[in-house]
């Protein structure tokens, strides 16, 4: 592993505030692109089978998203209140879930049931199809609170996949204009979740800017690079890369709170996708763990438990 210390001065690489687009919501074909990326990354990868399985899951998510009805949305009063208090409008932790999310789960499970899955995954699909409402709601509540420790690693991806579809659908129905910037820059302004990774954009007005990618709703929001995403310290970060990698993915660790987030440099590889490339660089997480660093946000498709 190689490390370097990097201290950025305010304004060094950032355009003046106000000129920066604060938010990109997930595109309508997000899951199709993710599936493609996962399939590509799976080739010759030590986690190839799992990445292939997740590509089928992402295909099922796309199919579910394409046919998903829009859940009831917060009205103008609620929108104004959230704006006034700087709260995420679709708060994953506090907004009651509409039962529609379970329809999304049923769609995903049905489609996965038709795929050629490994035996264990097929058994999980069957058992989730028979699970009662209470059990599913309880699991969803924990995932949305990012309390993943007690969730079965086999069931987590399916339920998380359904919740992602539900939140992406709501966010896109509201549109970017409904969301305001939060004082706390490290959480998603749409749903309040932590980021799965950050990306450094390449090309256009956002060249070189850091956006954080939501682990739940896949929104991307701008956050200045001088701040730690977890504790907002501006004292500096250490960058870690895997030996022999092309440097397209680096872990940025805060010297103050010891948390880290991966940064994907799209300039080095424009095809990267936050969730997929985060999973494909699990080796970097293992090294960071050995260094005593902890992740600044979850990946809902893999939790070491």
Q: Which of the stretches 12-20, 64-72, 129-137, 210-218 binds Zn ion when contact is defined by CB under 5 A?
A: 210-218
**In this chain, which of 174, 178, 217, 280 binds Zn ion, going by CB under 5 A?**
217
**In this chain, which of 191, 213, 264, 288 binds Zn ion, going by CB under 5 A?**
191
Least distance from C-beta 216 to Zn ion, angstroms?
5
Cβ proximity of 216 and 199 under 8 Å: no
User: Which residue number, 214 or 284, has a Cβ lying nearer to Zn ion?
Assistant: 214
**In this chain, which of 60, 165, 187, 188 binds Zn ion, going by CB under 5 A?**
188
User: Which residue number, 152 or 294, has a Cβ lying nearer to Zn ion?
Assistant: 294
Q: Which of the stretches 42-50, 102-110, 193-201, 270-278 binds Zn ion when contact is defined by CB under 5 A?
A: 193-201
Q: Is 257 a binder of Zn ion (CB under 5 A)? A: yes
Q: Which residues of 77-102 are buried (b: 16+ CB within 10 A; e: fewer)?
A: eebeebeeeebbbbbbeebebeebbb
Q: Which of the stretches 6-14, 95-103, 150-158, 184-192 binds Zn ion when contact is defined by CB under 5 A?
A: 184-192
Write out the DSSP string of 241-277: E-TTS-SSEEEEEETTT-EEEEEEETTT-TT--HHHH
Question: Helices 156-174 and 100-114, interaxial angle, to 10°?
Answer: 130
- Secondary structure class of 166 (helix, strand, coil): helix
Least distance from C-beta 217 to Zn ion, angstroms?
3
User: Which residue number, 124 or 193, has a Cβ lying nearer to Zn ion?
Assistant: 193
Sequence-ordered list of residues with C-beta below 8 angstroms from that of 87, at least 6 positions apart, any chain: 81, 182, 192
**In this chain, which of 82, 213, 214, 248 binds Zn ion, going by CB under 5 A?**
214
Cβ-based burial of 258 (10 A; exposed 0-12, middle 13-18, buried ≥19): middle
Q: Is 231 a binder of Zn ion (CB under 5 A)? A: yes
The secondary structure of residue 83, as a DSSP letter, is H
- Secondary structure class of 211 (helix, strand, coil): strand
Least distance from C-beta 116 to Zn ion, angstroms?
32
User: Which residue number, 58 or 190, has a Cβ lying nearer to Zn ion?
Assistant: 190
Q: Is 233 a binder of Zn ion (CB under 5 A)? A: yes
Q: Is 190 a binder of Zn ion (CB under 5 A)? A: yes
Sequence-ordered list of residues with C-beta below 8 angstroms from that of 114, at least 6 positions apart, any chain: none
Enumerate binding residues for Zn ion (CB under 5 A): 188, 190-191, 193, 214, 216-217, 219, 228, 230-231, 233, 254, 256-257
């Amino acid at each position: 592993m190689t490390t370097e210390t990097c201290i950025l001065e305010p304004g060094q690489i950032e355009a003046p505030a106000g000129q920066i687009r604060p938010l990109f919501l997930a595109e309508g074909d997000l899951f199709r692109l993710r599936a493609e990326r996962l399939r590509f990354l799976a080739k010759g990868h030590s986690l190839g089978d799992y990445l292939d399985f997740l590509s089928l899951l992402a295909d099922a998510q796309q199919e579910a998203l394409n046919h998903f009805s829009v859940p009831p949305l917060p009205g103008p009063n609620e929108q104004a209140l959230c704006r006034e208090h700087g709260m995420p409008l679709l708060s994953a932790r506090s907004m009651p879930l509409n039962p529609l999310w379970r329809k999304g789960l049923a769609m995903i499970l049905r489609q996965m049931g038709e795929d050629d899955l490994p035996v264990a995954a097929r058994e999980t699909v069957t058992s989730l199809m028979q699970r009662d409402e209470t059990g599913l709601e309880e699991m969803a509540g924990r995932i949305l609170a990012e309390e993943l420790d007690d969730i079965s690693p086999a069931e987590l991806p399916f339920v998380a996949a359904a919740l992602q579809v539900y939140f992406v659908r709501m966010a896109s129905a509201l549109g970017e204009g409904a969301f305001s910037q939060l004082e706390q820059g490290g959480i998603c302004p749409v749903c309040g979740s932590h980021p799965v990774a950050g990306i450094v954009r390449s090309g256009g007005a956002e060249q070189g800017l850091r956006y954080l990618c939501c682990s739940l709703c896949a929104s991307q929001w701008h956050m200045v690079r001088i701040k730690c995403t977890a504790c907002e310290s501006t004292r500096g970060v250490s960058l870690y890369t895997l030996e022999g990698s092309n440097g397209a993915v680096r872990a940025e660790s805060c010297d103050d709170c010891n948390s880290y987030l991966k940064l994907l440099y799209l300039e080095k590889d424009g095809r990267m996708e936050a969730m997929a490339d985060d999973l494909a660089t699990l080796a970097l997480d293992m090294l960071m763990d050995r260094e005593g660093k902890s992740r600044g946000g979850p990946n809902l498709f893999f939790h070491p438990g």
